[in-house]
Amino acid sequence: MKFNMDNPFIQFLARVGDIILANFLFIVCSLPIVTAGAALTGLNKVTQDIAFGEQPSLLRGFFGAFKENFRQATIAWLIILLFFVGMIFNVMIVSFYCTGVVEQVLRWVLYLIMALMLGIASHLFPLIVRYENPLKQHFINATVLAIVKLPRTLVMMLLIVLPFALAYISLPIFFRTLVFWIALGFGFSSYASSNLLVPVFRKIEESDDA
């Protein structure tokens, strides 16, 4: 029995298989925590290649991006991680020392700042994977894209927070879908975001070539 590799269903299964493997590699490579940024670049490399219709070696693509972007991605990840830890600490201080309207206003200001950083982070690692720039320039470009491409940014942010929001809203539903999040969740989120960024990157690259 011989499978037709041009069959759309076979191609779909192959694509899902690649995303599942990339998801597994991301989880394993993120276990030391400090390497999560580099693992994100590996995951984004794989899902960007799939979204752009390219078919390089999955393992070579993942670990190539992991190694090539390790320094930049690790610094970026630690900056973002420390930022959110600090902001959560600020929310706790506000809750402890403030009450009433003042507490609510300060809380929402902090939440909006965290949302902005999440939007920046959703663009940052895909940019690190695709373009060679100093980290400062990547942060600037990610900030501009997060604001200019706000509808796409909001969808990408939703994809990132979805499992956490689901766990907060209903733990029973979260646990029923836990297999999906472990097997495919990060890969699915990255692949969906990569598809959202394809027209953005193509427009950037066309303008650079002009």
pLDDT digits (tens, 9 = 90+) for 120-143: 999 999 999 999 999 999 999 999
| Statement: residue 1 has pLDDT above 70 | no
Query: Considering the domain boundaries, does residue 183 fall inside one?
Result: yes
* Distance from chain centroid for Cα 68: 18
Domain assignment present for 67 = yes
Alpha-carbon distance of 8 to 18, in angstroms, equals 15
Question: Would 1 be classed as within a structural domain?
Answer: no
- Measured CA to CA, the distance from residue 73 to residue 139 in angstroms comes to 11
Per-residue DSSP letter, 76: H
- pLDDT tens-place string over residues 54-101: 876 788 999 999 999 999 999 999 999 999 999 999 999 998 888 888
C-alpha of 202 from chain center: 19
Cα–Cα distance, 200 to 87 (Å, whole number): 30
In a domain, 69, yes or no: yes
- The answer to whether residue 2 sits within a structural domain is no
Q: Is residue 85 part of a domain?
A: yes
Within a domain: 88 = yes
Kindly give the interhelix angle for 100-130 and 150-169, rounded to the nearest 10 degrees. Answer: 120
For residue 76, give its domain range. 8-209
In a domain, 3, yes or no: no
State how many domains the chain has.
1
Q: Annotate 101-115 with b (16+ C-beta within 10 A) or e (fewer).
A: eeeeebeeebeeebe
